[in-house]
Amino acid sequence: MKFDNNIYYTTLDLMPGVPLNIYALKGSEYSILIDTGIKGMRDQVLGLCEEAGKVDTVLITHVHADHIGCNVAVKEKTGAKFYAAGAIPWIENMETHYMEFCIPSEHLPDSQQQRDEILGLMDGPVNVDVVLAEGTVFRPGNGIELETVALPGHKLEEVGFLNKATGDLFTGDILLAMAAPFFHGFQTAQGFRNTMAKMKSMLDKGTVKRIFAAHHHPLDKEKSYEAIRITEKFLDEVRDNVIKESKGVDFPALWKNVCANMNKQLEFRGFAMLEVQVDELIAEGVLRKADGRIYKV
């Protein structure tokens, strides 16, 4: 489907209140696909490639399963080059992806059901042709000048893509899907806050006029500010709850208490996110750990 100008898209609802939008930019020389969705979107994503035409570049915002799920199908159909900014083994090896994402342990037992759920979102590995760096620019024609922008937070190596000609910023999960029953999470809380400040600055200056986020429908300037505000509020709530629950408990107990307080499922995304938050608060001198237990300073 065409959105406007040279922007094409396809979408589905991953769960109530959480859309998944995949975008393509149609250039006169070639077209660019941004992320490849989930395996169940195969026909939609390949249809998007046909609609945009001449897709020879695939840009990955970050390497979570719902953003790389049709990599093999797109590669086979278009022969496009794949670009990603990091965590390359998660794209090139599905077992590595699963083990490092789901972090199986005594607290997070492995199971065939979980393997089927996560691995079933992806159609297999592809080789990454180029590792992206901030500032890398793509010029596919039709006046499109797409610049790579580092947006660490949800993933350390997450990037977005800014069409400098129009002020359209295409992002992955840096604006979180709050309606999900689990923690969408982050790999760096402070980095996430810095990225929110960076995005607000780009909006203030008029560098960014619209945001096309994977789990939000297109956001104008006003709605972009609101989505950032909601994300910042979430970061504050996580921090406050971690500090509140640091009463001399071990980490698994803290994880369970914070999930209960914020009405989120006990699962691996929240476990990893809260470990990050605890470690950063210890580094800040707000918390301390002694004998395996976490305390407020």
Domain shared by 122 and 152, yes or no: yes
Residue 224 confidence (pLDDT) = 98
Q: For residue 148, give Cα distances in angstroms to 55, 59, 87, 93, 268.
A: 18, 9, 16, 25, 29
153 & 217 share domain? yes
Outline where the chain has alpha helix (H): 42-52, 71-78, 89-92, 94-102, 112-119, 189-205, 221-244, 251-261, 268-284
High-pLDDT (> 70) share of the chain, %: 100
Residues 188 and 285 in one domain: no
pLDDT at res. 184: 87
Same domain for 225 and 254, yes or no, is no
Return the CATH number at 207: 3.60.15.10
pTM exceeds 0.75, yes or no: yes
The single-letter DSSP state of residue 95 is H
Average pLDDT over residues 72-79: 98
Name the pLDDT band for 231 (thresholds 50, 70, 90). Answer: very high
How many domains is the chain built from? 2
Answer yes or no: do 223 and 263 share one domain.
Answer: no
Taking the C-alpha atoms of residue 19 and residue 234, their distance in angstroms, rounded to an integer, is 19
Residue 143 within a domain:
yes
Whether residue 169 sits in one domain with residue 291: no
Strand partners, 33: 24, 58
Owning domain of residue 191: 2-234
Residue 239 belongs to some domain of the structure = no
Residue 201 reports pLDDT greater than 90: yes
- My answer on whether 250 and 282 are in the same domain is yes
pLDDT in tens, 13-60: 999 999 999 999 999 999 999 999 999 999 999 999 999 999 999 999
Lookup: tokens for 4? 């406007």
Q: Identify whether residues 155 and 34 lie together within a single domain.
A: yes
Cα–Cα distances (Å) from 94 to 59, 99, 185, 215, in that order, read 19, 9, 21, 23
Distance of alpha carbon 186 from alpha carbon 173, whole angstroms? 10
**Average pLDDT for the chain:** 97
Dump pLDDT digits (tens) for 249-291.
999 999 999 999 999 999 999 999 999 999 999 999 999 999 9
Is residue 157, in this structure, part of any structural domain at all?
A: yes
